Amino acid sequence: MDYGKILSKAWKTIWKHKILWLFGVLAGFGAASSGGGGRASSSTLSSSGGSGFQNGPSFLGPQMQHNFQQFFRSLSDIRPGVWVLIGVGALIVIFVFSFLSLLVGTLGTTGVIKGAGMADRAGEDEKPISFGAIFKGIKPHYWKVVLLTFGVRVAGLVGGLILALPVVLFTVFTCFLGLFLLIPLGWFIQTLVKFSTIAIIEEDLGLFEAIGRAWDLITQNLGQVAVMLLILGLGQFVIGLLIAVPIFASFLPVVINIISAGEGVIRTGLIISGVLFLVALPLTIFLNGVLQAYVLTAWTLTYRRLAEGSDLAPEVISLPEDEAE
């Protein structure tokens, strides 16, 4: 398998069929569905006689410290029943957000995979694929992928709760060498899920048939899959860090102003950081979407090459008029 040609063709594919960028952005939202809830600790409210904020950071200034004291004092006056309602409401919000993220993320993932497969089967002179053509193509497979993704996440949550203590003990007793076994296992499962998703969409397989198909392809081509995993994994990690630079840089003004002190200066830094963050956030989301589209396209091409047992010589077809712009 020619890794260079696959990586090159993946870029050419998403550059020509820019609608995959949109699906990549949607796929990026799927990561937001791993919401973990945190509980507010009442010890911080009770340890200071109910005020909860006797001495704020000195750089905030007397007025801002007083405002924080009043805020935390008001929290200590809330009845326990209200806190229960707030907690239940927060759980409902987290559940709804996670479910919507699952649906949106799956739409993006299936869209990129389907679009990449359609582009690979089409000739180089064909017009860019339209959103409608991709959306029509994923309809028969969408809910199967939702079920697969949901099942994996539930299994991961349950397995994590059950195996948390044994894994920690195993890691400690092996002097952390156990991590070198657990990390490849996690990568294998992640790749198995990717290939199962692609099998559902590309070969119109059922859920368990797709998992079996993915298992066969990975185990029979373990070395090639491992090399592609290292290339895409390392590349995605490095580029992801670079994409996140604008977000981190947006906080520099407030950090610099905190160091320089002065309440008025800090407020100015907060405003500047807020504006920069609002500018950097959509840029980061967009660039991450392009990255997601590229990685998923590369995996789709990899799957197709392994499944077809051929080099980069895809079947050339002519797209119907309703599948091209």
Which tens digits make up the pLDDT trace of 162-190? 877 777 776 667 666 666 777 888 888 99
Instruction: Report yes or no on 66 lying in a domain.
Output: yes
For residue 45, is pLDDT > 50?
A: no
Residues 17, 15: Cα–Cα separation, whole Å:
6
> Does residue 135 lie within any of the structural domains?
yes
Is residue 308 in a domain?
A: yes
Determine, yes or no, domain membership for 237.
yes
Asked whether the predicted pLDDT for residue 270 surpasses 50, the reply is yes
pLDDT at 157: 83
Q: What is the pLDDT, as a whole number, of residue 165?
A: 75
> What are 123-143's pLDDT values in tens digits?
777 788 999 999 999 999 999
Q: Is 138 exposed, middle or buried (0-12, 13-18, 19+ CB in 10 A)?
A: buried
Residues 252 and 210: their CA atoms lie apart, in Å, by: 47
Degrees, nearest 5: CA angle 202-15-134: 35
In a domain, 110, yes or no: yes
Separation in Å, CA 45 to CA 60, 134, 242: 20, 53, 40
pLDDT at 64: 56
Quote the mean pLDDT of the chain. Answer: 80
Q: How many angstroms from the chain centroid is the CA of residue 186?
A: 16
In a domain, 240, yes or no: yes
Residue 312 has pLDDT above 90, yes or no: no
- Whether the predicted pLDDT of 249 surpasses 80: yes
Indicate whether 275 belongs to any domain.
yes
Domain assignment present for residue 215? The answer is no
Structural domain range at position 243: 3-34+58-160+221-323
pTM over 0.85: no
Q: How many domains does the chain have?
A: 1
Q: Which helix (H) or strand (E) holds 16?
A: helix 3-16
